[in-house]
Structure 1
Amino acid sequence: MRLGTVERIWRYPIKSTGGERLASADVDERGLAGDRLYAVRDAEGRFGSGKNTRRFRRMPGLLRLRSRYPQADLLTEPELLDPAGVPVADATAYLRHYLQRQDVEVAREGAVSHFDQLALSVLSTATLDWLRITLAGTPVDERRFRPNLLIRTPPGTPAFVEDQWLGSTVRIGTAVCVTFVRSSERCVMVNESQPGLPHSPFVLKTIARTHAMRLDALGTVTAPGTITAGDPVTVAQP
C-alpha cells in the first residue's frame, strides 16, 4: 500500500539550529548521515535546546541560525550561518558572543546521543495542511517541527495520519526501510521564531489541545540506503 511520496528531506547538522534541505541523503541505523552529529554543548555537558532538562539547556535564539555541511562533505565540521544566512568564520566563537555565554562550544557527538528520541522523524502534508488551516494567520511550515522527511500524502488523507503508521514498517524508495515506533512529544521549540516564522504561542497550544502534545512519526532504520525526493513511501511486505 502506498502512503505517499517524499516531498522534502531535511538534515540538521548542528542540533537545535535550522537545517539544510537536501535532494537526497544516505541513511544508516543512526538516521540521515550527519544529522544532529554536532550540538552546542555547555561546560556541564548539556546540549543547547529549547527546553531545560537533565540533558538539555535552553538557549534561546539557536533556531535563528542555520547549519550545513560545506559542499556535502560530512568529514568536516559543519558551517554555522548567522541570521542573515552568512557563514561565520568560527562557530564556537560566534556562539559565545551570540548567546552571551563563554562556556559553550560546537561539539561532535560522543558517547551521549544528540537525539532527543529516535533517529528519524517523519511528518505528513495532511497534518501540516491541517495546522495551516487551524492556525490561519500564523505562518506555519515543516521547519517548526524539524522533521527529516515531509511526506506528500494523497488528497483526502486525514490529519495526524502518522498515528496510523505507528507499529508498521515502510519502504522508502528501493532500499530504505523504517519501522515507526511512536510520535514526538512537542515542546516550546515549535513556537520559536525562525527566519520567515515569527514566534507564536498558538502552535504548541493547538497541538496540546487537539493531539495531546504529539506530532509526527518517529522511527528506527531497519534497512539502510539512499533516500531521494520523489521516492515512493509504501508499507513493506512481511
Structure 2
Amino acid sequence: MAAPLLLSDLYIYPVKSLGGIRLTEATVEPRGLRHDRRWLIVNARNQFMTQRQTAAMAHLKVAPAYNGFLLSHQQRPELLPLYVPFEATPEKTLFVTIWDDMVFAWRGKPECDTWLTEALGEECKLVYMSDMVRRDVEPEHNPEGQLVSFADGYPFLLIGQESLAELNTRLAEAVGMDRFRPNLVFSGGEAFAEDDWASFQVGDVSFRAVRACGRCVLTTIDQTTAKKNPGGEPLRTLATYRTEGSKVMFGQNVTSTGQGSVRVGDTLTVVSYKA
C-alpha cells in the first residue's frame, strides 16, 4: 500500500527574494499564505529587486518576531537586526513596478530603507502591498480572478520532496529545497507526481495546480554563501530532462479558492488530474 501524501513543510517569505520562515501552521488567504511576500525591496527607480540581479540578497535572513520579523545580514554582524512588522501603515505611498505590473504600495519606515541600503550597497526602499491593491494572476490561467502578492505570478508554489530527491541523484552536490522557494512541500508519491494534478486538497482547503513553474538563475545561488554555482547547477541538470519549450520546469504554480488553515502533517488528497 502506497504511503499517504502528507504536507511536510510550510514556508512564507515575508520579503520577496529574502530568506524564508518555516512554519508548522499557516492561514490560506486570497493572495497566498498569510504574510507571504507582502513586502518588496525596490531600487531608486522603484523597480523590484530580486536575487536574479542582486545575489547578495541571499545574505539577508528573516526570523520570526512578535507581530513581525527580524532582518539580519549573515555576513555583517555589525548591522544590528532590523524589526519589521508584518503589516505597514499608509503614511507614505508610491507606485512600484514588478514584472509587467505597476502597483500601489505603502512605504516602510525610513530606518528600513537606511538599513537595506547599507546592507545591499545601493539605494533601495522597502514597500508593502495592502489589501486594497489588486494584482491578478495571469489572466489566461485565471478563470476565478485570483489575486497574487509580490510573488512572481502565483499565490502558492508546491513541490514534492521526492522531486527534489530525484534531482539530487543526478547532481554531484545535492541542493536544498531553499533553492526553489516553495510554500507547500509534500512527502509521498513519486517524483514529479505533482505535474499531473489538476486539483487537490490539503486538509479541508482546496487548491488548483495551474501550471508548472519555470525556473531561473536564482536556483543556482547558494542561499548560505550568496554565490552562483559556476557550472549553473542545478538548472543545467534540470534542463536536460525538465525543459518545456524554452523554460526549465520544477514545481507547480497553485491557486486556491478556499480559505482556512493548513498544517504540517495534514493529508494531501488529489481530487482531479490534468487531461
Whether TM-score is above 0.5 comes out as: yes
Cα distance, 1:147 vs. partner? 0.2
Q: Tell me what 1:178 maps to.
A: 207
Cα distance, 1:193 vs. partner? 1.9
199-208 vs 221-230, greater mean Cα deviation = 199-208
Q: Tell me what 1:169 maps to.
A: 199
> Percent identity among equivalent residues?
26
Q: Tell me what 1:87 maps to.
A: 81
1:14 equivalenced with 2:15 (yes/no): yes
1:198–1:50: structure 2 CA closer, same or farther, 3 Å change rule?
closer
1:70 equivalenced with 2:65 (yes/no): yes
Cα distance, 1:224 vs. partner? 0.8
Distance 1:117 1:69 in 2: 25
1:196–1:5: structure 2 CA closer, same or farther, 3 Å change rule?
farther
Q: Tell me what 1:55 maps to.
A: none
Cα deviations by residue, 1:111-167 (Å, 9 ceiling, x for unpaired): 45412111000100111101111113x24111000000111014xx1x2222111xx
Q: Which amino acid aligns with 1:42?
A: N
1:83–1:139: structure 2 CA closer, same or farther, 3 Å change rule?
farther
Q: Which amino acid aligns with 2:27?
A: D
Cα deviations by residue, 1:180-227 (Å, 9 ceiling, x for unpaired): 101111110001121278642221111222101011011111111101
Q: Which amino acid aligns with 1:88?
A: L
Q: Tell me what 1:109 maps to.
A: 129
Kept in 2: contact 1:139–1:198 (CA 8 A)? no
Q: Tell me what 1:204 maps to.
A: 235
> Which runs of structure 2 are paired with 1:112-131 in the superposition (5 Å)?
113-131=149-167
1:196–1:225: structure 2 CA closer, same or farther, 3 Å change rule?
farther
Q: Which runs of 5+ in 1 are unaligned?
A: 52-57
Kept in 2: contact 1:171–1:233 (CA 8 A)? yes
Cα distance, 1:8 vs. partner? 0.7
Q: Which amino acid aligns with 2:60?
A: L
189-198 vs 219-228, greater mean Cα deviation = 189-198
Cα distance, 1:2 vs. partner? 8.4
Cα RMSD over matched residues?
2.3
Q: Which runs of 5+ in 2 are unaligned?
A: 84-110, 136-148
Q: TM-score when scaled to structure 1?
A: 0.84
Cα deviations by residue, 1:40-81 (Å, 9 ceiling, x for unpaired): 112322111133xxxxxx22211221224423x2xx5x4212
Distance 1:197 1:116 in 2: 20
Distance 1:92 1:189 in 2: 24
Q: Tell me what 1:97 maps to.
A: 118
Distance 2:40 2:175 in 1: 25
Q: TM-score when scaled to structure 2?
A: 0.73
195-204 vs 15-24, greater mean Cα deviation = 195-204
Structure holding more strand per residue: 2
